[in-house]
């Protein structure tokens, strides 16, 4: 007797008619026509079953704070940082915990199983760190939360940032962050990258740096990040987040840079919703897109993922924890329109994000964790196209969220009928 049996699932690799049997929080079998009994059985009816969505770049200390204390009028990254600076002194630890827990509920309902969140370490009280460490503990049964020590105001630009970053790591924050493009000078930015990578090497930690979130083609801190990664033997443990300046860089320089990044086995996270919203704000027309060079980096062998970054906070007014929305935007902005590229965009919010976070036991395979999501779609491309409904979300073999199918009642003259948006695929 299994704890959970999912019948007739289609998997993201195209296998269909598959049954998935789970017990003790682990996937015990993935094969056609499993005939054993189970305490809970879900009929997938040919719909897609995926490992959970993974958001590899988020700001949980700021989420759901939109409008507090005011709105971002210019829509720029820099006004967002200034606005966040106004909010930080007036919010309490309990405020942050309450907002973060509300967001986690939303995220779980949308099939997200893991989030890497940056947490601002630039206030001496470390309110965000205190709050999110508690949130990490509270949500652990249903959501993996990784925390990055993020010196939002600049490691050197803020007098106490380094001291507070080290304190936050001592308190249990997982990863070393940074923001070299926000330091006072290019030289300070490069020095901050060097210092932060050394901290990570000394402590045996991963690095995930906001890097070159700028339209300035001469913002080249990712070059230093790659070189320091290689120098310190951190290959495969370092992530460059955003890298938007690469969009504007000279092609000849990029041809050298990407090889350097591949040598360092850097990981890359683009944040399509935020990049398309914040970048290019100083342009007239043509207006740059500001998303990093996703297909080129992927084709050079780097692991590239998409993150949500912000939901209803000083930088972004929209968002709903929908990683398919993120993939949809990344697909469009990157012009990733071939069948293979569109399917890859699904991986960018699932397997690739999980790989960057170093999640263990991830994926629909025997022996892995029984974490999965049943989608109202036949394949990953359709899931992105429809931003498919998450019919069931499973964690450790238990159904922890369900959503009713998206079925529309049409009452047209003479032919009332029910419409399933997935029926509009060619061939149906
Ligand atoms: Fe970010």
Q: Give the total number of structural domains in the chain.
A: 2
Same domain? For 261 and 317 the reply is: yes
Does residue 121 belong to any structural domain of this protein?
yes
Same domain? For 261 and 336 the reply is: yes
Same domain? For 243 and 390 the reply is: no
Evaluate whether 275 touches 215 at the Cβ level (below 8 Å). no
Does residue 169 belong to any structural domain of this protein?
yes
pLDDT band (50, 70, 90) for residue 428:
low
Does residue 301 belong to any structural domain of this protein?
yes
Interval 124-147 mean pLDDT: 98
pLDDT band (50, 70, 90) for residue 424:
confident
Average predicted confidence (pLDDT) for the chain: 97
Interval 157-185 mean pLDDT: 98
Q: Which residues are catalytic?
A: 213
Would you say residue 253 has pLDDT above 70?
yes
pLDDT of residue 422: 83
Question: What is the rounded CA–CA span in Å between residue 9 and residue 319?
Answer: 29
Which one, of 349, 359, 262, lies nearest residue 308 by Cα?
A: 349
Same domain? For 45 and 59 the reply is: no
Structure tokens at 303: 């692991």
Q: Which domain holds residue 321?
A: 53-357
Centre of ligand 1 from the C-alpha of residue 279, in Å: 13
Structure tokens at 276: 């398309």
Same domain? For 92 and 31 the reply is: no
- End-to-end Cα spacing for the chain: 37
pLDDT of residue 7: 98
pLDDT of residue 427: 67
Question: What is the rounded CA–CA span in Å between residue 23 and residue 38?
Answer: 9
Centre of ligand 1 from the C-alpha of residue 239, in Å: 12
pLDDT in tens, 225-250: 999 999 999 999 999 999 999 999 99
Does residue 90 belong to any structural domain of this protein?
yes
Question: What is the rounded CA–CA span in Å between residue 144 and residue 155?
Answer: 27
pTM: 0.97
Q: Which of 6-20, 43-57, 66-80, 191-205 has the lowest mean pLDDT?
A: 66-80
Same domain? For 57 and 170 the reply is: yes
Same domain? For 200 and 292 the reply is: yes
Pairing of strands 48-50, 38-43: unpaired
Q: Report the percentage of the chain scoring pLDDT > 90.
A: 96
Does residue 131 belong to any structural domain of this protein?
yes
Indicate the residue among 342, 357, 372 that finishes a domain. 357
Would you say residue 77 has pLDDT above 90?
no
pLDDT in tens, 12-65: 999 999 999 999 999 999 999 999 999 999 999 999 999 999 999 999 999 999
How far out from the chain centre does Cα 152 lie?
Answer: 19
Count of all residues that appear for the chain in the document: 428
Centre of ligand 1 from the C-alpha of residue 367, in Å: 34
Q: Exposed, middle or buried: residue 237 (CB in 10 Å: 0-12, 13-18, 19+)?
A: buried
pLDDT in tens, 180-193: 999 999 999 999 99
Q: List the CATH number of the domain containing 386.
A: 2.30.40.10
Evaluate whether 221 touches 261 at the Cβ level (below 8 Å). no
pLDDT of residue 359: 98
Q: Report the percentage of the chain scoring pLDDT > 70.
A: 100
Does residue 253 belong to any structural domain of this protein?
yes
Tell me how many degrees the CA angle 212-313-285 measures, rounded to the nearest 5: 50
Centre of ligand 1 from the C-alpha of residue 309, in Å: 5
Same domain? For 257 and 297 the reply is: yes
Evaluate whether 374 touches 412 at the Cβ level (below 8 Å). no
Burial state string for 100-134 with b = 16 or more CB within 10 A and e = fewer than 16 = beebbebbbbbbbbbbbbbbbbbbeebbbbbbbbb
Centre of ligand 1 from the C-alpha of residue 188, in Å: 20
Same domain? For 368 and 343 the reply is: no
């Amino acid at each position: 007797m299994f704890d959970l049996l999912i019948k007739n699932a289609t998997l993201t690799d195209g296998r269909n008619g598959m049954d998935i049997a789970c017990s003790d929080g682990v996937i015990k079998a993935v094969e056609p026509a499993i005939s054993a009994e189970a305490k809970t059985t879900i009929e997938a009816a040919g719909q897609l079953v995926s490992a959970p969505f993974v958001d590899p770049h988020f700001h949980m200390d700021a989420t759901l704070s939109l409008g507090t204390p005011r709105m971002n009028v210019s829509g720029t990254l820099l006004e967002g940082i200034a606005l966040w600076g106004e909010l930080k002194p007036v919010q309490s630890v309990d405020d942050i915990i309450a907002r973060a827990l509300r967001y986690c509920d939303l995220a779980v309902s949308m099939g997200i199983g893991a989030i890497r969140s940056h947490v601002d370490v630039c206030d001496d009280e470390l309110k965000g760190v205190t709050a999110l460490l508690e949130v990490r503990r509270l949500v652990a049964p249903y959501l993996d939360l990784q925390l990055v020590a993020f010196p939002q105001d600049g490691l050197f630009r803020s007098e106490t940032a380094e001291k507070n970053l080290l304190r936050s790591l001592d308190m249990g924050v997982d990863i070393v962050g940074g923001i070299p493009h926000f330091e006072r000078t290019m030289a300070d930015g490069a020095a901050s990258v060097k210092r932060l990578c050394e901290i990570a090497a000394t402590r045996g930690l991963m690095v995930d740096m906001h890097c070159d979130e700028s339209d300035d083609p001469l913002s080249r801190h990712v070059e230093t990040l790659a070189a320091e990664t290689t120098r310190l033997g951190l290959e495969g443990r370092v992530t460059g987040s955003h890298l938007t300046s690469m969009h504007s860089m000279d092609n000849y320089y990029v041809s050298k840079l990407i090889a350097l990044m591949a040598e360092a086995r850097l990981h890359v996270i683009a944040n399509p919703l935020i990049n398309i919203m914040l970048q290019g704000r100083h342009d007239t027309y043509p207006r740059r897109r500001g998303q990093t060079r996703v297909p080129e980096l992927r084709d050079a062998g780097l692991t590239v993922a998409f993150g949500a970054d912000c939901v209803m906070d000083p930088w972004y007014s929209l968002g709903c924890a929908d990683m398919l929305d993120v993939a949809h935007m990344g697909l469009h902005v990157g012009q990733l329109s071939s069948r293979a590229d569109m399917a890859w965009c699904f991986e960018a919010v699932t397997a690739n994000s999980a790989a960057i976070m170093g999640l263990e036991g991830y994926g629909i395979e025997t022996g892995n964790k029984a974490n999965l999501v049943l989608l109202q779609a036949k394949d990953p491309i359709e899931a992105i196209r429809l931003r498919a409904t998450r019919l069931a979300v499973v964690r450790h073999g238990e159904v922890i969220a369900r959503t009713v199918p998206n079925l529309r009642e049409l009452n047209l003259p003479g032919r009332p009928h029910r419409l399933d948006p997935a029926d509009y695929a060619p061939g149906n």
